[in-house]
Structure 1
Amino acid sequence: MEAQAQLKPPVQPGRNRLTLIALIAVALAPVVLSYLAYYVWKPSGGRSYGQLLEVRPLPDFPLASLDGKPARLDEFRRKWLLVMVDDAACGKDCMDALFALRQYRLSQGKEMHRIERLWLVTGEGQPSAAALRQADGAAIRRALAPVPLPGELQRGIYLIDPLGNQVVRYPRDAETGRVIKELVRFLKNNESLG
């Protein structure tokens, strides 16, 4: 028995203390790192490419179809809505915006059924045949009152969510790829909306 007692290594109080400190450090590390990540190292991601708007319902305002029948924004509920506002003359900037709206929608692939495009025509007159071809299936309604969207209307493209809330405003000369990527995120992160 004396031989077995001699085989035991001597107890080292410093080693036990180091083990305890290591265990405490491992337990506290996630808490400390999460604090630092939240308060010190703020992530640079999460910024929107478009101008985020105050999320609030777009007020209903009088609309009509091009042939004069009354229309309402409610007909577009339950879909994401890309909206542009321009007069019936539809110059080059307007034609480019119509093309961009089509590209934004088509680029969503199997999710494109969740997006509707809307051209709100202001002023008198009818859009030209070329403008109607460029619209290529977009809904066209005449705004019979000022359009209650923020910013310079003829310089932006607006995203309205399926609940009718204004969400984002993109400049008409926005980088197409960045807008498309952001739309993908909106659709993916809000699958339950529409």
Structure 2
Amino acid sequence: MSVSLPPPRKQRRIILAVVGICAAPIAASYLLYYVWKPAGGLTYGQLLETRPVPAFRQVTLDGKAADLGQLKGKWLLAMVDDGSCNVACLDALHALRQIRIAQGKEMGRLERVWFLTGTAAPSAEALARADGARLFRAQDPVPLPGDQTGGYYLIDPLGNQVVRYPRSADPVKVIKEIGKFLKNNENLG
């Protein structure tokens, strides 16, 4: 019994088709990765270089030593401002409170922190707006990037800086974005 082979030209086409089918996904992946780079997820806030917030000296309002290690396992919404707290500071304190409350059942995973700079004591109105936030007086400069009094920061449960939001940010967009962070990182704090 003899097996008849297709003509050489047809054999060549079959081999080239098989090689092309196998090589196409690899070629497509290189093109997509190196030529048509995907835009990726866009964040509303300014993404920061993910690195731990360096240690710095801080105390509670009653003078006891404090550090962010006490809050490991919680997402932190942190702001830095002077104890005299002007109108923009009061508005930021209110916004942080609303952002936390808007997280619903996830709000227990989110803690608010106010790093006080300077020696001024917070006013009664500022303390009322901070309602439930942790207040720490920074003894050293707070090592967070950017204009600290012009924004607030999201710090992950491992102590890494994640995002900076300007104080003029749309609270609805910030609420949605932080909700996504909490949802997508359920096992992280």
**Alignment TM-score, normalising by the size of structure 2:** 0.82
Matches within 5 A, 1:19-34: none
What is the CA distance between 1:125 and its match in structure 2? Answer: 2.1
Please tell me whether residue 175 in structure 1 is matched to residue 154 in structure 2: no
- Where does residue 187 of structure 1 map in the other structure? 182
- Where does residue 44 of structure 2 map in the other structure? 49
Please tell me whether residue 154 in structure 1 is matched to residue 149 in structure 2: yes
CA separation of 1:33/1:172 partners in 2, compared to 1, >3 Å: closer, same or farther?
Answer: same
- Where does residue 96 of structure 2 map in the other structure? 101
- Where does residue 79 of structure 1 map in the other structure? 74
User: Once superposed, which parts of structure 1, at least 4 consecutive aligned residues long, lie more than 3 Å away?
Assistant: 25-45
CA separation of 1:26/1:107 partners in 2, compared to 1, >3 Å: closer, same or farther?
Answer: farther
Moved more, 109-118 or 39-48: 39-48
What is the CA distance between 1:67 and its match in structure 2? Answer: 1.4
CA displacement 1:9-31 (0-9 Å, x = unmatched): xxxxxxxxxxxxxxxx9999987
CA separation of 1:150/1:181 partners in 2, compared to 1, >3 Å: closer, same or farther?
Answer: same
d(CA) in 2 for partners of 1:97 and 1:191? Answer: 26
Which secondary structure state, in structure 2, belongs to the residue aligned with residue 85 of structure 1?
Answer: strand
- Where does residue 112 of structure 1 map in the other structure? 107
Q: In angstroms, what is the RMSD of aligned CA positions?
A: 2.6
What is the CA distance between 1:35 and its match in structure 2? Answer: 6.7
d(CA) in 1 for partners of 2:98 and 2:23? Answer: 50
- Where does residue 137 of structure 1 map in the other structure? 132
d(CA) in 2 for partners of 1:85 and 1:131? Answer: 13
d(CA) in 2 for partners of 1:33 and 1:144? Answer: 54
Structure 2, unaligned runs of 5 or more: 1-19
What is the CA distance between 1:165 and its match in structure 2? Answer: 0.5
- Where does residue 128 of structure 1 map in the other structure? 123
d(CA) in 2 for partners of 1:192 and 1:105? Answer: 19
Moved more, 90-99 or 176-185: 176-185
d(CA) in 1 for partners of 2:39 and 2:25? Answer: 21
CA displacement 1:73-115 (0-9 Å, x = unmatched): 1111100000000001000010011011011111111000000
d(CA) in 1 for partners of 2:104 and 2:25? Answer: 40
CA displacement 1:38-58 (0-9 Å, x = unmatched): 566654450111111111111
**Aligned AA (1:102):** R
**Aligned AA (2:68):** L
CA displacement 1:147-183 (0-9 Å, x = unmatched): 0111111011011100001111110110111111110
d(CA) in 1 for partners of 2:39 and 2:69? Answer: 37
- Where does residue 160 of structure 2 map in the other structure? 165
- Count of aligned pairs between the two proteins: 184
